[in-house]
Amino acid sequence: MQRRATAIAGTACVTYADENPRHILLQPVDHRDLDDVDREAQLLQDSCKAPLALVAFEVPEWNDDLSPWEAPPAFGKRGFGSGAQHTLDLILNGILPELPTALQPQPGQDAILGGYSLAALFSLWCSYHTDAFAAVAAASPSVWFPGWIDYSEGHRPLSRAVYLSLGDREERTRNAVVSTVGSCIRRQHELLRAQGVPCTLEWNAGGHFQDPGSRMAQAFLWCIDTLEAERTA
C-alpha cells in the first residue's frame, strides 16, 4: 500500500491505499497515534488479500470530537464534550464524498469505520445512526462511558457486522468508572447477539495501552473477512 499524507474535506489525513480498493477503512486518530497506524497498515498489507485503503483522519480534540454526549472526567480533570455528531457529519458529508476521487475504489466498495479506545466507542455510536458503514471495528472501546450501556440497550446498530475486543487486564484498574469496562463489554456483546447482529468479542493479552496497532489490524481484518464471506455466500 502507498502511504500519503494529505487533506480530505479540509481534514489532515494519512492514507494507505492499494490500487482500486474494495474495502475502505476509516479511522479517527490523534496525531500521536501515527506510528501505531503505520504498523497497523503494514500488518493489514501482510495479512489481507483483498485490495483496501486505510484512511486515518486526525481529530483535534479527542475528548470532545468523539464523545456522544457530555460526561464528567473519568481520569484527570478533562471531561467529555458532545462532538460525535459533528465528526460523523464530517465523515458523511465531507470525507466519504471525496474518497472516490482520492482513492478510485471499486464499484460497490464497502466502508468500514473503526477506532481504538474512545474512537472505538465513537465508531459504535455511529453504527446506531447511519448505515453508511458496512461494518464497525471497535478495539478496546470505552463502553464504560457514562450512560452508554443504557443507550445501547435501547437501540440497534445499522451496520451489518460489529467487532469488539478488550485487553484481559483492562478491567483490573483502581479507577471506579473504567473498571466497569469488562462487564460493560460483555453486556454489549450480549445485546448485539440478541439483536441478531453478526459480531465477535475477542480478548487480547494485556492492558489498554498494549500494541494498539496490532489490535486495530486484527479488528479490521475480522470485518473484512466477514464482508468477504458475504460476497461469496
Is the four-CA dihedral 195, 200, 206, 209 of positive or negative sign? negative
Number of H helices, E strands in the chain: 8, 8
Cell numbers found for residue 192: 448485539
CATH number at 176 reads 3.40.50.1820
- The parent domain of residue 65 ranges over 2-232
Q: State the total domains in the chain.
A: 1
Q: CA torsion sign, 124 to 109 to 232 to 217?
A: negative
Q: What is the pLDDT of residues 163-180, one digit of tens each?
A: 999 999 999 999 999 999
Residue-wise pLDDT tens digits, 176-192 = 999 999 999 999 999 99
Q: H or E stretch including 110?
A: strand 110-116
Length of the chain: 233
Contact 93, 85 (CB under 8 A): no
* Percent over 90 (pLDDT), the chain: 92
